[in-house]
Amino acid sequence: MRMFQLCTCGQPLVASETATPQPKGSEVLLKVLAAGVCHSDLHLADGFFDLGGGKKLSLAERGMKLPVILGHENVGEVVAVGPDAKGVKVGQRMLANPWIGCGQCAACLRGDDNLCRAMRSLGVFTNGGYATHMIVPHPRYLHDIGNLPPERAAPLACSGVTTYGALKKVTTIKSEPTVIIGAGGLGLMCLSLHQKMGGHSAIVVDIDDGKLAQAKKAGAKATVNAKAADAVQQVMKLTTDGAGAWAVVDVVGSSASARMGYDSLVKGGKYIIVGLYGGDLTVSLPPIPMRALTIQGSYVGSQHEMKELMELVKAKGLPDVPVATRPLEDVNKVHGDLRAGKIVGRVVLTPAA
Ligand SMILES: [Zn+2]
Ligand SMILES: [Zn+2]
């Protein structure tokens, strides 16, 4: 198999070849048909997340061991199965849910692998899909994509389930406008799933007018440029009675986006943070109880949410997010383009092409 490994944080991924692994026990071997490139791959390649105030969260301390093959949004064709891998056949085209826990703790036993304290996520802590082949530890993490195009299904594994998991926390989704901060790949995915989930209307916020125009075209009821001095007031004016937002989903997660999202809430409102851009937020405490505000984090999605998302997409169609395909060999160049903000929607590598 051919693969691109992260060998040293801060350095380009390194191409190499090794013997294709054979599946043991409950493992399944996939030939990788599509591997989405996610913005968080850049943080993984850097080796840290920005905590604000000059502090960093080191991924080595969180259990990332090098070398590792990145790539956590994968669709592959089953080419071999271990002796204990039941319910999966060679030739099936499968989406691999990368958010895998230890399988033994209370969270994992509930199917909340995303809340496991010892995650073994594919493409983060174990090898992922920037390779011609990959191993998935158990068939329960595989979802048959049927006739869906692999390159459009792959982003569901991270971008899709992450925004789906966040939108599931919006209790007012059908009755009130939802504010979505960020109109990049993740924002457009969020907007599209919001519609498929029967969302009332979406107010999309970004700092890039081009991206806002794209969100408008994709069905946003209104857009606001966060660079405007009165951006918070503009968002509030678009909510019921101009009182503020019942729910803000922040797919950026920077100091500025958090400030804006939190300040846009109505009494009883919920600020849901998904993005991992990095930074910090200082808030006064009395208004949290007095205004009954919620600040909630949302990390990827559970096993149940992944399954529900696949059912939603099979019933209502794939999210309408622009997808461009590139060969596996281009992975370092794609990372550079992503870092430079040059990518609209999603780039998906096609390792087995
Ligand atoms: Zn991701
Ligand atoms: Zn666990």
pLDDT digit string, tens, across residues 11-20: 999 999 999 9
Expressed in angstroms and rounded, the spacing between residue 124 Cα and the centre of ligand 1 is 10
Q: At 128, is the pLDDT very low, low, confident or very high (cuts 50, 70, 90)?
A: very high
Expressed in angstroms and rounded, the spacing between residue 129 Cα and the centre of ligand 1 is 12
Expressed in angstroms and rounded, the spacing between residue 326 Cα and the centre of ligand 2 is 35
pLDDT of residue 345: 81
Expressed in angstroms and rounded, the spacing between residue 141 Cα and the centre of ligand 2 is 14
Expressed in angstroms and rounded, the spacing between residue 242 Cα and the centre of ligand 1 is 34
Ligand whose nearest atom lies closest to the CA of 301: 1
Radius of gyration of the chain (CA): 20
Expressed in angstroms and rounded, the spacing between residue 275 Cα and the centre of ligand 1 is 10
Expressed in angstroms and rounded, the spacing between residue 119 Cα and the centre of ligand 2 is 7
Amino acid of residue 203: I
Average model confidence (pLDDT) for the chain?
A: 96
Contact indicator for 252, 190 with CB cutoff of 8 Å: no
Does residue 62 surpass a pLDDT of 90?
A: no
pLDDT of residue 168: 98
Cis peptide before 67 (omega within 30 of 0): yes
Contact indicator for 124, 47 with CB cutoff of 8 Å: no
pLDDT tens per residue, range 68-104:
999 999 999 999 999 999 999 999 999 999 999 999 9
Ligand whose nearest atom lies closest to the CA of 157: 1
Measured CA distances, 289 to 139, 160, 295 (Å) = 45, 33, 12
pLDDT of residue 13: 97
Ligand whose nearest atom lies closest to the CA of 120: 2
Ligand whose nearest atom lies closest to the CA of 109: 2
Expressed in angstroms and rounded, the spacing between residue 87 Cα and the centre of ligand 2 is 23
pLDDT of residue 342: 84
Instruction: Compute the average pLDDT of residues 119-145.
Output: 97
Ligand whose nearest atom lies closest to the CA of 303: 2
pLDDT of residue 343: 84
Does residue 60 surpass a pLDDT of 90?
A: no
Instruction: Compute the average pLDDT of residues 163-187.
Output: 97
Ligand whose nearest atom lies closest to the CA of 274: 1
Contacts of 30 (CB under 8 A, 6+ apart): 74, 76, 77, 78, 79, 94, 96, 133, 134, 135, 136
Ligand whose nearest atom lies closest to the CA of 116: 2
Amino acid of residue 83: P
Ligand whose nearest atom lies closest to the CA of 98: 1
Expressed in angstroms and rounded, the spacing between residue 116 Cα and the centre of ligand 1 is 17
Ligand whose nearest atom lies closest to the CA of 39: 1
pLDDT tens per residue, range 2-59:
999 999 999 999 999 999 999 999 999 999 999 999 989 999 999 988 888 889 988 8
Does residue 295 surpass a pLDDT of 90?
A: yes
**pTM of the predicted structure, to 2 decimals:** 0.95
Expressed in angstroms and rounded, the spacing between residue 66 Cα and the centre of ligand 2 is 22
Measured CA distances, 281 to 253, 294, 296 (Å) = 10, 14, 13
Does residue 63 surpass a pLDDT of 90?
A: no
Instruction: Compute the average pLDDT of residues 185-198.
Output: 96
Q: Please give the share of the chain, as a percent, with pLDDT higher than 70.
A: 100
Ligand whose nearest atom lies closest to the CA of 299: 1
Q: Write out the DSSP string of 2-22.
A: EEEEE-STTS--EEEE-PPPP
Instruction: Compute the average pLDDT of residues 217-237.
Output: 98
Expressed in angstroms and rounded, the spacing between residue 27 Cα and the centre of ligand 2 is 18
Expressed in angstroms and rounded, the spacing between residue 113 Cα and the centre of ligand 2 is 6
Does residue 353 surpass a pLDDT of 80?
A: no
Q: At 135, is the pLDDT very low, low, confident or very high (cuts 50, 70, 90)?
A: very high
Expressed in angstroms and rounded, the spacing between residue 42 Cα and the centre of ligand 2 is 26
Instruction: Compute the average pLDDT of residues 308-328.
Output: 95
Expressed in angstroms and rounded, the spacing between residue 336 Cα and the centre of ligand 2 is 34
